[in-house]
A and B are shown apart, each in its own frame.
Chain A
Amino acid sequence: RKEVEQDPGPFNVPEGATVAFNCTYSNSASQSFFWYRQDCRKEPKLLMSVYSSGNEDGRFTAQLNRASQYISLLIRDSKLSDSATYLCVVFSGGSYIPTFGRGTSLIVHP
């Protein structure tokens, strides 16, 4: 089993839709979690951190479920510009080396 797993998609949704992705991790000692966005042929960029209490940034909501060992990203009112690959990143306890999921591809169409 891979350390960090994501459904590669693609998730194909119309503008205005709400879409959610999950990312599961296998190491129960994992402590820090992030969502990154990667556009085609570009480097990943930080989208948001994921806190135990959950956090929201505009149309984006990230949540952590430690019991089931997954993090989620919810995007409301999808825009065309949200089309990208969304990577989850996990740091395990005591490690400064991040583990990346393979990414989930989102396509928002008119």
Chain B
Amino acid sequence: KQEVTQIPAALSVPEGENLVLNCSFTDSAIYNLQWFRQDPGKGLTSLLLIQSSQREQTSGRLNASLDKSSGRSTLYIAASQPGDSATYLCAVTWGAQKLVFGQGTRLTINP
């Protein structure tokens, strides 16, 4: 079964720290992997998309890496700010077109 897991479910860090969010998936034959941000009660904002052939993508203070062989992706956030507080979701597309989501990591940045 194709599944996505995100651990931990919640993370709290002081402002200014660099941090890493983890995502693991069960089948390495992915098509692409996407990281999203979700604020409470809101829709999803796409942060980064990594194609199967890529190893990483960067956008501003965010860097996402992909290691298919180990079934892992990480989202690195540099110099965290209180505005980064949100739930971060990892989603994988395999052969079918649907996104399979992890449960998310709820991130709190403390001023």
A associates with B = no
Measured CB to CB, the residues of B under 8 A from A are none
